[in-house]
Structure formats: structure tokens, C-alpha cells
Amino acid sequence: MNIFLLLHVLILFIFPPLLLGIIGKTKAFFAGRIGPPLLQPYFDLYKLLHKASVYSVTTHWIFRAAPMISTAAILSAGILMPIANLRPPVQFGGDIILFVYLFALARFVIILAALDTGSSFEGMGASREATFGAFSEIAMFFNLTILALLSRKLSLSGIFLGGLSSSWVLVGPVLILVVVSFFLVLLVENSRIPIDDPDTHLELTMIHEVMVLDHSGVDLCYILYGNAVKLFLFSTMLVSIIFTFRSPDIFLNLVLFILEIVGLAILIGVVESTMARLRLNKVPYLLFSAFIFSIIGFIVILVRGH
Amino acid sequence: MLIFLILLPLLVAGTIFILPDQRSRKRMLVFTALLHSGCVFSFWMFKPSTSWNGFLGLDALGLLVLSVISVLFLMVSFYLMGYFKDESELSRKVFIGFLLCFLSFMTLVTVSRHFGLLLIGIEATTLSSVPLINFVKTRQSIEATWKFLMICLIGIALALLGTYFLAVAGLNNVQSLFIDKLIIHGKELTLPWLKMSVIFLLIGCGTKMGLAPMHTWLPDAHSQAPSPISALLSGCLLNCAFLSILRVAQVCHAAGQTPFFSSMLILLGIISMGVAFVFILGQEDYKRMFAYSSVEHMGILAIGLGLGPIGIYGALLHMINNAFTKGIAFLVTGNLYKQYHSKKVSEVRGVFFAYPITGIFLLAGFLAVSGVPPFGTFLSELIILYAALIGHHYVVVFFYCLFLALIFIGIADIILKMLQGRPVHESVSQGPKESWSMVMPILFLIVVVFILGFYIPPILNNVLQQGVGLLAG
Amino acid sequence: MNVWLDAALISVIILGLFIVASTRLATMIQIFSVQSVILGCVPLLMYAKDLEFFIIIISLAAVVLRGFIMPNFLFWAIRHVSVRSEASPFIGLGTTLLLSGVSIVGSFLLASRLVFPVAISSDLVVPSSFSLIIMGFILIVGRTKAISQVIGYLLLENGIFLFAILLLKKMPLLVEMGILLDLFIATVVMGIVVNNISEEFNNMDTVELSTLKD
């Protein structure tokens, strides 16, 4: 049991930046470039750790504390989530709510830090992020409710460690709705195209990037790392909904899991390469359709009486 | 026999579309109308048998509506001979062809014994009346046609949904949409589905009938269509829709849901009368005024239908009176339009001075439409009032009398201004006098409505009583 | 609980949502055509156990008529008039989506109250038909372009057809075919009137059709 806990924590801590590398490579492939090496995010994090941070004189302790709080929150959410059929270190009934609110806490402190700088650019990014976060949280909650109703359990490990095993056969269409809705939520929460461009350098078109514009050095390292872990956790959740087959062999599970996550990262890269960014006032409609999908699934489940 | 009645106008329409000869078109129209009326007249003597597997059949209600349609169509076809003396040729081919199709489909509605067939008939009448309304392609007539088409098609779609609900209500027992079978097994119909079906059928067929608040297509369509077509729309099409509501009432009565249905009918009727009153006051277009008067009379029909056996008798009698009265009203407006070339009230003055015959007809039409004795409308409205009084529906009585009086004032104001004085332009009174064909039909209708005001022939009374029996047991 | 039938019905609702949310006319017609094809397959899915010949005929007729002939006719109409999109609808996108969402929830609520007398293979049919009907209404009321209103009417008829599939075994063929035929003729007539509108008014904005007022 302890080995598996260690394995879970190790994967959680070490694997996420590789996802960013895979996405970068996919986008480069679509653009006809060779692109940065797969391990580039690790090198970036390492480089940032050695740099000094520069702080603006208008900021207070919030600005210095925010990166640490947000990364800590995201990592805490990570230890609630089962990875590759491995039991997470912490689990209790109702931890899905804690899971969502830990992400909300991370977003909250980053927004506060952005407002703390007193610059209008960061404020603009903060307001956008708050709006989209509000919409995406509703959709996420409804998705989680559907999953909880289907598996009759209120904890993440309960849902994803076997709770959904017969659901695809019984209520396939509903789960397809959940998957589509959740994929849209994933794109929003992690600031991917078509909502936000992680590579853009035009401040007026950024959402997430502009909020973290003023962070540097170790703080920036924390934030980048936190984003990678957040993406990893969302991908894990999505993959666990789609592929509910798990074998008793740990090694096989691990391999399957890594393959599925890599596949999802490639899919995100494809989506990013083939689509353009949506106009900012169209994003709420995208989120609203994610919400509608989950609502329809929710109603169908209610009607069926599961 | 019944199939022949339906197919005959269609066949004649087909030949009109194909044959290039134009002189005989009007004669073929009148000939078909005469043949049609002759057949219907024979039905009063000998009841025809049901045909086509029980889909077609004639009962008392159908006979009443069919006779009204037939007579009014005959009068309009006579009128058209004079009205069309100077229109272009090609459009006349389309016009007369679709006019005959219109007659055929209305006949189908009256003799249908199956709800689905009834709805198909009503939709077909809607579609075949579109070219008739759109005869003169001006901006406003296109607008009127579009509104008519959209609102009526949506109404029929809702009525179709209501029919499906009715089928569901009978799914465990009757498993059929034949009116006779539905009436026999009325008590077994599932109640929630039956109520929903009644609501949707009322909204859908009420749209075609012109009950407020679904009446919005009516003033536009009636004012923009040529006057004889307005007469047909008001006198025949609205009555066909009323017939479908009568069928729904039959099923409701058999299922014991009459109070539920009656309350909705009375509510819609009073709203219709109120809406008509609001829009008749100060109306600038005399055809629109008569169109709103149609809305008012449909409201009276709905109120009568919801007031028990006596009210139903009054409503059926009023249906006949109203149809002929609207025939008078709109054909007279046809005369007026030919003479004054304008639909505005302000430009029509001195009808008595310039065209005395039309003036007398207009006066008679106004009196008949407002329900002044000794015209038939007074008698039928009185019967409905009596039914409301003995049923202790005092609120209904109050609003009914109030709106009738106010509408009388409104129409009187407009028509009397038109009748008196001198024409605005001198050239108007030098225009051609009315031809025979534009006078005789109106005169005939006035005489009929006048007679019905104090004498109901026993044979008519018999059929009316049968109709009441079908609806109220 | 037929999974394919459920998937078809849910996709029909979602496609209806896409139609309501879209403003480009070509997109609306294409999605409508896809939805009609799926809808045409629903009778086959529903009565897969005891297929009869006339059910196959009705499915085929629905697919061909609603899925190919009518959209082609609508494409001809918009090409003829060269209108591309709905520039200024009465109800904005957000309100439309909100109303559609509320209508879908409302349909499910209403359908759960109404007990169907006979056992049916999927309890999603009645709610999805109601939601399609209400979404058709939203389109008719909320749009200014005449073609959008025609598409809304067709969506309404799709919803009614979906409800009628439940009664397919008991109601005779006559009425079903009659409805499909009427629909076809109605579309043709509407198309002709739309062309009249466009010729006379030089655009298809029904906002212009408001001169007849009291």
C-alpha cells in the first residue's frame, strides 16, 4: 500500500510538465516545425528556479504569497484524485466539492495577486478569468453531480475506482454528453485555444497570461508548475471517465494510463492547432453550451431514476 | 355522392388550369357553383350515405356549414362575373382555379368524419387560399399573405399536435380518430391527455377561426384580399374552423368535460369581443373594420357554444346569419372599392348621393352586422343572451351587452359618416353604375338575413335541433 | 432502454439547440438536414423488434423529404435571395440559449407528469418532441428573416413528427403521409411567398412587414 501511495505522489509531482511538452510538440508538428524538445518545460522550470524575483513597489504580501498558495492548493487537489487506479492518499465522502474549491482557491489568489499590482492589464485579465471561471464551475459541478449519481458515491476515489464500470453500457449517451462538456471545461480552465492562447504576446488578447505578467523567477516557476499539474489533473479526470476499464495488474494500468493521457494531450494539441481563438464575447456561449450538455445529461439521469 | 361533391370542383379547376380559353372560365365557375349548390340542396331532402370507408359522412352540423359555404360561394361566383370585367387574363386562370380548389377543400372539411382528415382539409384550404389573397401583389398584400401563412400554418401544426394527443388519450380503448367512435367511447379517454388535446385543438383551430389573441392574421388578410375573397374568407373559412371546434366540443361532451371546455370558450369569446371593440373604434380602413367585426362575431359564436343547449342553438343560428351578413358586408365593400378606388374611410363620403343602391346595401349591411332587428343577427344574438341569463352567467351578460353596444357605436360612427354628405372628388359620382351581377347577390343575401330575422323555416329548425342534440346530448 | 435510440434522441435535442443558437442561414439548414435524417431513423430504432413494411416506408419518406428535398429547396431560396445571415434578431443569442435551456428542462418536467397509456421503448421521446416544438417557436418568434421563420416552422413540424412516431402502429398510413405531403407543399408555398417578399422589398426582413397596423 505504501509503495502505491509513493507511486501516486511521484506521478503527480513529476509527470505534469511532460504534458505541456507533448502539446508543444504536437503544435509544432502541425506547423511544420520540429519544435522544442519534449522535456523543455522541465528545463524552463529549472531555469526559473535559479532566477531572482522582481517585485513591484505597489504590491504587498498577497503578491508574494499567491504563487505558493495556488500551487499548494492545486497539489492538495492532486492528492485527492485517483491516478491510474491507484488509491489517493486522502479520500473522504464529499471530496469532490473540496476538489473543485481547491481549484477555485488557486484561481482566487492569483486574481487577488493580479489586482494587487494595481495595473489595468492584470485587472482586465483578472475580470475575464473570474467570469469564465464562474461559468465553467457550474458546468463542472453538474458533470460531477451526474458522475456521483451514476456511481452512487460522493468521493473521487469512489467514482473513479470502479463506480462507473457499468455506466457506459447503460447510459452511454449521457456519458458522451458529460465527456464533451467536460472537455470544454478543461479547455476553459486551462486557458487553451479556443478560449485563450497560451503563446500570445498581445496583452489585449490574453486572459490567463496577463494575470501572471508581473510574476518572475521562483514565483513564475510555481505558477507554471501549478498550471501543468492542473492540466494533468483535469486530463486524468477526463480519461478516467472515458476509459473505465482497469485491470488488477498495476503495471498494465500505469502503461494504459500514460498512453491515454498522452493521447489526450495530443488531442488538445490538435484542437489548438486547428482552431482559432474565439472572440471574447462568444466564450460565455461556448461555456453555456457545455452547461446545457451537462444539464441535459443530468435531466436524463433524473428521469431514468438512477 | 360525397366524393363526387369534393372531386367535382377539383376536376373543373384542373381543366381551367389546362385549357387556354378564357371566356368560358367565369361560366365554368358559376356552373360548378350551381351544381355544388344543387347537390347540397338535395342533401336537405335525402341524407347521403357515408362513403370511403367511413371517412366521409354528413351529419347535421356538417350539413349546416356545407349549405352556408355552398350558398355563399354561389353568390360570390355571381358577383365575380361583374367584378372581373377588367382584370388581366393570366391571373384570372390561377385565381379561378384555386378558387375551385378552395371550394373543394372546404367541402372536404365539412364532410370529414375523421379528425386527421379534417385537419388535412383545413390545411389544404389555407394553402389554396394563399394565391387568392395574394392576387394583387402589392407590398401590403405580401405582408398580409405572409402573416396569414405563418400564423395559420403554426395554428394547424398545434391543432395537429392536439389531434395526436387525442389519439394518445384513446390509445388504450378507442384506438381511432373517427369522430363517431370517439363519441361512443368518450368516457374512457385518458383525462390528462384529453385535456391537453382540447387545449391545443382549441388554440390551433381558434387561430384559424379568428379568436383573439390568435386573430392577428385576420384584419390584414381580409383587408388586403379582393373583396369577394374577403367575403369567402369571413363567411366560409372561419365557419370551417368553427366546425372543427364543434367536433372537439362533441368529443368533450361525450367525455363529460364540457365545463372545462365551456369556460375556455367563453373566456376566448369575451376577449375576442373586447379586442374587436378596441380596434373598431376610430378604424380608418372600412374593410379592416368589417374584419374586426368578424372577430367579434366569432367571439359571439364561442360564447354561445359555451352556454349550454340554448346557447348552442343560438350559436348555430348565428353562424348562418353571420356568414350571410359578412357576405353582404364585404361584397358591398367590393362595390365601394370599385367606385371610390380607396379603402380609407376618410375618402369615402356621400354614398347615398352618388350610388343609392350601394348606399342602401351598405346601410343594410351595417344594421345586419351590428345586430339590429329585424335582421337575423339580432335574433341569434338575443338567443345567446337569453342562454347566458338563464344560466346565471351575469358577468358574461355584462361584457356581452357592453361590447355589443360599444361596437355598434363604433361601426355606426364610421358607416354613417360614409353614407352621408357629398363625395370628396366630383369624378366619383360620374363613375359607372353597379352592374346586375354586383347587385343581385347582395340583394339575395339581404333578403335571406331579413327573413331569418323573424321566421325560421321548420326544416332549418329541425336541422338546428339535431345539431344541438349532437353537441349537448 | 435502447442505447442507440437514446443517443439519437439526445443528439436531436442538441442539434435543435445548435439550430437555435446559430445565425448563419446555411448552417441552420445543414444542421436541420442532419437532424431530419436522424429523426427519420428513429422509427426504425423504436420498432426494431417488430418492423413492418410501412414503418420502413415512412422512415424512408421522412429522410428523403425532410433530410434532402426540403433543405435543397431552402438552399435554392437563400441563393435566389442572397441572404447569408441573420444580422439583427429580436432575441439575442444569450436570451435564446437561456429560453431554449429552460424549455428543455420544462419539457422534461412536463413529460414526467404525463403518463403515457401504453409502454414505450424510451422515455426520452415525449420530452425531446416537446423541446423541439418549443425551440421551433423560439425561432419563429425571435427572428426577423423570413427564412429563419420557415426553418423554425420546420423544426416545429419535426417535433410533432417525433411525437407522432409514438402512434405509428395505431394510426393509419393516410394521416402520416398526408402530414408529410402537407409539409412539403407548405414549404413550397412559403418559399414562393418568401421570394415574393424579397422581390418586392429587396430583402427578407420581416421587420419591413409591419405597415399594416392599427
User: Tens digit of pLDDT for each residue in A77-123?
Assistant: 999 998 877 888 888 888 899 999 999 999 999 999 999 888 888 88
Would you say residue A306 has pLDDT above 70?
no
Average pLDDT over residues C119-136: 87
Would you say residue B26 has pLDDT above 80?
no
Chains A, C: CB pairs < 8 Å: 58
Chain B residues within an 8 Å CB radius of C206: 146
The pair phi, psi for residue B119, each rounded to 5°, is -70, -40
Would you say residue A251 has pLDDT above 60?
yes
Instruction: List the one residue out of C114, C103, C146 whose CA is nearest residue C16.
Output: C103
Domain boundary assignment for chain C: 3-206
Average pLDDT over residues A176-180: 89
In terms of CA atoms, which chain C residue is nearest residue A284?
C94
In the predicted model, what is the mean pLDDT of chain A?
Answer: 87
Would you say residue B447 has pLDDT above 70?
yes
Would you say residue B45 has pLDDT above 90?
no
CB B467 within 8 A of CB B52: no
The region of weakest confidence among B20-29, B64-73, B158-167 is B20-29
**Could you give the 3-state DSSP secondary structure of residue B170?**
coil
**Which pLDDT belongs to residue B246?**
93
CB B103 within 8 A of CB B168: no
CB atoms within 10 A of CB A128: 19
**Which pLDDT belongs to residue B7?**
79
| N residues, chain A | 306
Does B461 touch chain C if contact means CB atoms closer than 8 Å? no
What is the rounded distance in angstroms from the CA atom of residue C207 to the CA atom of residue B278?
A: 24
**Which pLDDT belongs to residue B231?**
92
Q: Do B160 and C160 touch (CB under 8 A)?
A: yes
**Which pLDDT belongs to residue B192?**
86
In terms of CA atoms, which chain B residue is nearest residue C148?
B150
String of DSSP letters for C161-173: HHHHHTTTTTS-H
In terms of CA atoms, which chain C residue is nearest residue A297?
C10
Of C113, C171, C193, nearest to B145 by CB-CB distance is C193
Interface of B with C in 120-139 (CB under 8 A): 120, 123-124, 127, 130, 134, 137-139
Average pLDDT over residues C88-107: 85
**Which pLDDT belongs to residue A46?**
93
Beta bridge partners of B56: B51, B112
Instruction: List the one residue out of B35, B200, B36 whose CA is nearest residue B105.
Output: B36
Does C188 touch chain B if contact means CB atoms closer than 8 Å? no
Give the Å distances, CA to CA, from C196 to B145, C50, C85.
10, 47, 19
Would you say residue B205 has pLDDT above 80?
yes
Indicate the pLDDT class of residue B173, thresholds 50, 70 and 90.
confident
Indicate the pLDDT class of residue B90, thresholds 50, 70 and 90.
low
In the predicted model, what is the mean pLDDT of chain C?
Answer: 81
- Chain C positions contacting chain A at CB under 8 Å are 1, 3, 6-7, 10-11, 13-14, 17, 21, 93-94, 97, 100-101, 104-105, 108, 111-112, 123-124, 127
Average pLDDT over residues B99-104: 90
DSSP annotation of C65 reads I
Would you say residue B34 has pLDDT above 80?
yes
**Which pLDDT belongs to residue B207?**
93
CB B57 within 8 A of CB B50: yes
Percentage of chain B beyond pLDDT 70 is 97
Higher pLDDT, B154 or B421: B154
Q: Do C117 and B288 touch (CB under 8 A)?
A: no
String of DSSP letters for B271-293: HHHHHHHHHHTT-SBHHHHHHHH
In the predicted model, what is the mean pLDDT of chain B?
Answer: 87
**Which pLDDT belongs to residue C83?**
67
**Which pLDDT belongs to residue C49?**
79
Would you say residue A160 has pLDDT above 60?
yes
Give the Å distances, CA to CA, from A9 to A78, A89, A241, A258.
8, 8, 21, 15
Domain boundary assignment for chain A: 2-27+59-305
**Which pLDDT belongs to residue C173?**
59
Higher pLDDT, C144 or B270: B270
- First and final C-alpha spacing in chain B: 29
CB C144 within 8 A of CB C86: yes
**What is the residue whose three cell numbers read 344574438?**
B381
Domain boundary assignment for chain B: 257-473
**What is the tens place of the pLDDT at every residue in C130-140?**
999 999 999 99
**Which pLDDT belongs to residue A140?**
92
- Who contacts C54 (Cβ-Cβ below 8 Å, separation ≥6)? C173
Q: Which one of C24, C108, C122 makes the best mutation probe of the A interface by having the most chain A beta carbons within 10 Å? A: C108
- Who contacts B394 (Cβ-Cβ below 8 Å, separation ≥6)? none
pTM: 0.84
Q: What are the percentages of helix, strand and coil residues in chain A, rounded to 5? A: 70, 0, 25
AA letter at B299? G
Long-range (24+ apart) CB contacts under 8 A made by A123-126 are A124/A210, A125/A206, A125/A207, A125/A208, A125/A209, A125/A210, A125/A211, A125/A213, A126/A211
**Could you give the 3-state DSSP secondary structure of residue B338?**
helix
Average pLDDT over residues C95-117: 86
CB B99 within 8 A of CB B72: no
- First and final C-alpha spacing in chain C: 54
**What is the tens place of the pLDDT at every residue in B329-355?**
999 998 888 888 888 888 888 888 888
CB B100 within 8 A of CB B12: yes
Q: Do A172 and C6 touch (CB under 8 A)?
A: yes
Would you say residue A17 has pLDDT above 70?
yes
Cβ-count burial B153-164 (b if 16+ within 10 Å, e if not) = bbbbbbbbbbbb
Q: Where are the alpha helices (DSSP H) in A152-191?
A: 156-160, 167-189
**What is the tens place of the pLDDT at every residue in B450-469?**
988 888 888 888 888 888 88
The pair phi, psi for residue B226, each rounded to 5°, is -60, 150
Chain B residues within an 8 Å CB radius of C149: 150
Does A281 touch chain C if contact means CB atoms closer than 8 Å? no
The region of weakest confidence among B71-80, B203-212, C161-170 is C161-170
Would you say residue C175 has pLDDT above 60?
no
**What is the tens place of the pLDDT at every residue in A54-76?**
888 888 899 999 999 999 999 99
Instruction: List the one residue out of B324, B287, B318, B293 whose CA is nearest residue B305.
Output: B318
The region of weakest confidence among A7-21, A166-180, B76-90 is B76-90
Chain C residues within an 8 Å CB radius of B157: 153, 156-157, 160
Chain B residues within an 8 Å CB radius of C160: 157, 160-161, 164
Q: Calculate how close chain C gets to A178, using CA atoms only, in Å.
A: 12
**What is the tens place of the pLDDT at every residue in A111-128?**
999 998 888 888 888 888
